[in-house]
Amino acid sequence: MNTHYDLLGVQSTASVDEIRASYRVLARRMHPDAQMGSAAGGSGGWDMAAINEAWHVLSDPGRRAMYDASLRVSSVAPAGGRWSEQTVPVVFQRASSGRFPKWPFVMLFVLAAIFIFTAGALYEPSAPAKPDNLLFAGSCVTLLPNRDAVEVGCETPHDAVVVTVVNFDAACPMETETFRDHQGRGYACVTKVP
C-alpha cells in the first residue's frame, strides 16, 4: 500500500519543509506540461492529482495527524479486515456513556429561576391609570343626572362599569343601561355597581 509519504518520497517523520521540497520536485517532474505527450502521466503510475492530494494532507498539521492516526489503525487491523468490539483500537472506542449532558440545561434552569424570583421581588406594581375620559369596556364611570357617563378611577367611588361603547345608531345589549358618552362618541352600555 502506497502512502502519501511513499508518494512524495519522504519519511513519516519528515518536516513540512522537507515535504514541501519533495512536492515541488515531483510537481515539476510530473506536471502534465512537463510530460509532453506521455500518456501514462509519469513514472510509477502516479499522476498530478495524487501528488497534490498528498501535499494537501501532509502540509496541514491537523490533516496530517488524522492521516497518521488512520495509518496506525490500518496497520493494526485484524485479519480479514473486520473489527469486533474487543479489537476496536482505544482511539475509536466511545469515551462517554452516550447520554446527553444535562448539566448545561440544569444551570440554565437555575439561572432562569434566579432571574424570575429576583425580578418578582423587585417588581413594583404601577399606579392605576388615571382617567383619560375615553370610555372603553371596563372603564368605571359616574352617572350624571342628564344621562351622561363620565370616567373616574376605579379606586374611587363610582356608579357603574362600562360593558361596551356603541355608535348613536346602535342599541346596547340587554341587561345593560344606556348612557351618553360624556365626550360625545356614542352610547356607553353600563352595568350599575351594587
Q: Which of 139, 144, 142, 117 is nearest to 128 (CA)?
A: 139
Instruction: Render each residue's pLDDT in the chain as its tens digit; 194 residues.
Output: 688 898 888 998 999 999 999 999 988 888 777 766 555 444 555 678 888 899 999 999 999 999 998 888 766 655 555 555 454 444 444 445 556 778 888 999 999 999 999 998 888 877 666 777 788 888 999 999 999 999 998 888 999 999 999 999 999 999 999 999 988 889 999 999 98
Domain spanning 4-79: CATH superfamily: DnaJ domain (1.10.287.110)
Task: Single out the residue of 56, 63, 66 nearest to residue 20, CA to CA.
Answer: 56
Q: Give the rounded distance of the alpha carbon of 89 from its chain centre.
A: 35
In Å, what is the CA distance from 112 to each residue of 100, 101, 123?
21, 19, 16
Check: pTM over 0.75? Answer yes or no.
no
Domain regions of the chain by residue span: 4-79, 140-192
Helix (H, G, I), strand (E, B) or coil at 190: strand
